[in-house]
Amino acid sequence: MRTAVVTGGASGIGRAVARELRRRGVAVTIADVDETAGKQVAADFGLEFARLDVTDAGAVAALVTRVRAERGRLDFMFNNAGIAVGGRTRELSLDHWDRTIDVNLRGVVHGVRAAYPIMADQGFGHIVNTASLAGLLPAPLMLPYTATKHAVVGLSLALRAEAAAYGVRVSVVCPGFTDTPLLDHANPGLPPTELAANARSAAVRAQGRLYPVDALADDILRGVARNKALIVAPASGRAAWRVARLWPAAAVRVAGLAIRRLPGR
Domains and CATH numbers, the chain: 3-260 (3.40.50.720)
Active-site option among 116, 145, 166, 211: 145
For 174, phi then psi, to 5°, come to -125, 80
244 and 136 Cβ atoms separated by less than 8 Å: yes
CA angle 177, 156, 59 (to 5 degrees): 90
Confidence (pTM): 0.94
Q: What is the pLDDT of residues 35-63, one digit of tens each?
A: 999 999 999 999 999 999 999 999 999 99
171 and 126 Cβ atoms separated by less than 8 Å: yes
Q: What is the pLDDT of residues 170-223, one digit of tens each?
A: 999 999 989 888 877 888 888 888 776 777 877 766 667 889 999 999 999 999
145 included as an active-site residue: yes
259, pLDDT greater than 70: no
